[in-house]
Amino acid sequence: MMIDLRSDTVTRPTPAMRRAMAEAEVGDDVYGEDPTVNRLEERAAEITGKEAALFVPTGTMGNTIAVKVHTHHGQEVICDARSHVLDYELAMMGWFSGCIARPIHTDDGILRWNEIRDEIRQLDPHWAPTGLIAIENTHNMAGGMVYPLELIRQIADGAHELGLKVHMDGARVFNAAEALGVSVREIVAPVDTVMFCLSKALGAPVGSMVAGTREDIDRGRLYRKRLGGGMRQAGVLAAAGLIALEEHPKLLARDHANAKFVAEALAKIQGIALDPRRVQTNIVIFDASGTGLSTAEFSSRLKAQGVLIDGIRGERMRVVTHYDADRDACERALEAIEQVAAGAMAGAR
Ligand code: TLP
């Protein structure tokens, strides 16, 4: 068995999920007649404290729909420079919504209101007006960083005063809630829409949710259909999603403890650099260039030892903990990393 720490998307459905999928009551969701999808959407709305929610196949589709709901062609979306909406969604904000990103460079992935305010543009003959502010919580490529509640409130208050909307890419917002010890509802209260993934840390095989006002979600449902997301008897997927939503948030503390454990051990390995104090959730980003290996070479040597970990941008690599990788698996991955690092450095001498 390979130990797969490339992402928390790699988890397999649990036996309980598979049972629920087999037994799911279904109907045609395009007619609004799938009872399991309807239940999942109602629970997601309740949990986020929003009027309504929409089941979508992927986080990318959820973010795409939210951007489309809030913007018009020819506008800008303010986001962090390493955000998923900008770097990993195949330019969907341009392709589908006709918007461009106005990225702000940050050290920790967390935007501050004063930085956003400086980038907001009104309609003018010279530039595109701001259409939306998108924040990512937790921030994936900044290493699972969590937005302090106060900053979300400041951003939303500032934006709303200027008539602008805020979307939260909360693919891992349940991890943020676990890290802060507050409810998801409290975290997302100030923002207009939130997308969160059932298929990441919560462990469902497929699916994400978008939540917001009834009006926004009703429009979002039409965009979902346009994007090919009318999934018919999707109750088989929603059944696993319901288990993820109800049962899996309580498992996240273990993933966070494992990530902390991995980070602290990595920091002691020669050739590897990271600050373990910055690891707040289930993502650990580290720099292995001190070993003299490229990320591709580091990954391929780890793979030969049964461990999957990928490079991200530049010289950095990412470990994501999840319920299919227990402490023992993390320890074995660390041993492999230590061996690859030591082997590379001995080879270089
Ligand atoms: N993230 C994936 C990759 O695409 C990088 C991962 O392995 O972490 N928002 C955020 C913050 C995400 O991390 C992701 C997926 C998405 C949106 C998109 O979700 P999917 O993959 O369901 O389209």
pLDDT of residue 143 exceeding 80, the answer is yes
pLDDT of residue 348 exceeding 80, the answer is no
Phi and psi angles of residue 128, each rounded to the nearest 5 degrees, phi first: -80, 135
HSE value, Cβ hemisphere, 13 Å, CA-based, for 132: 32
Cα 72 to ligand 1 centroid, rounded to whole Å: 24
293 ligand 1 Cβ < 6 A: no
Q: How far is CA 135 from CA 56, 63, 106, 113, 284, in A?
A: 19, 11, 12, 11, 20
Residue nearest to atom 19 of ligand 1 (CA): 59
pLDDT tens for 84-134 read: 999 999 999 999 999 999 999 999 999 999 999 999 999 899 999 999 999
310 ligand 1 Cβ < 6 A: no
For the record, the structure tokens of 59 come out as 């986080």
pLDDT of residue 148 exceeding 90, the answer is yes
pLDDT tens for 9-38 read: 999 999 999 999 999 999 999 999 999 999
Between 235-247 and 35-48, two packed helices, what is the crossing angle to 10 degrees? 30
pLDDT tens for 167-225 read: 999 999 999 999 999 999 999 999 999 999 999 999 999 999 999 999 999 999 999 99
Mean pLDDT value across residues 239-247: 98
Q: Which of 259, 274, 223 is CA-nearest to residue 67?
A: 223
289 ligand 1 Cβ < 6 A: no
Q: Residue 216 carries which side chain, given as an amino acid letter?
A: D
Give the integer Cα–Cα distance in Å for 234 and 214: 21
281 ligand 1 Cβ < 6 A: no
Cα 171 to ligand 1 centroid, rounded to whole Å: 7
Instruction: Give me the chain's average pLDDT, please.
Output: 97
Phi and psi angles of residue 148, each rounded to the nearest 5 degrees, phi first: -60, 140
Q: What residue has token string 């008897």? A: 233
- The whole-number pLDDT of residue 29 equals 97
Cα 134 to ligand 1 centroid, rounded to whole Å: 15
Residue nearest to atom 6 of ligand 1 (CA): 7
pTM above 0.95, yes or no: yes
- The whole-number pLDDT of residue 314 equals 85
- The whole-number pLDDT of residue 347 equals 81
